[in-house]
Amino acid sequence: MARLGVLTSGGDAPGMNSAIRAIVKLCAARGVEVLGAEQGYEGLMGGRLRPLSPRDVDTIGSLGGTVLGSARSKEFMRPEGRALAATRLRDAGIDGLLVIGGNGSLTGAHVLAEEQGVRVMGLPASIDNDLGCTSLAIGVDTALNTIVSACDRISDTARAHRRAFIVEVMGRRCGYLAMAGSVAVGADACLFRERGKPEEQLVAELSEVLRRGFGPERGKQMVLILKAEGVEVPTENLVSRLQAVADAELPGVDVRATVLGHLVRGGGPSYYDRLIAGRLGAAAVESLLAGHSDEMVAWQPHTPGGLPTWDPAVVRFPLAQMLAETDALLDGSSAVTRRRVRMMEATAGVMAL
Number of other residues whose CB lies within 10 A of the CB of residue 91: 10
Torsion sign, CA atoms 173, 174, 179, 182: negative
Per DSSP, the residues of 239-283 read HHHHHHHHHHHSTT-EEEEEE-GGGGT-SPPPHHHHHHHHHHHHH
**225/200 Cα distance (integer angstroms):** 17
Per DSSP, the residues of 288-301 read HHTT--SEEEEES-
Q: Which among 62, 74, 72 has a CA at the least distance from the CA of 12?
A: 72
Torsion sign, CA atoms 191, 196, 199, 204: negative
* Residue 341, C-beta contacts closer than 8 angstroms, at least 6 positions apart: 194, 195, 332
Just list the catalytic residues.
128
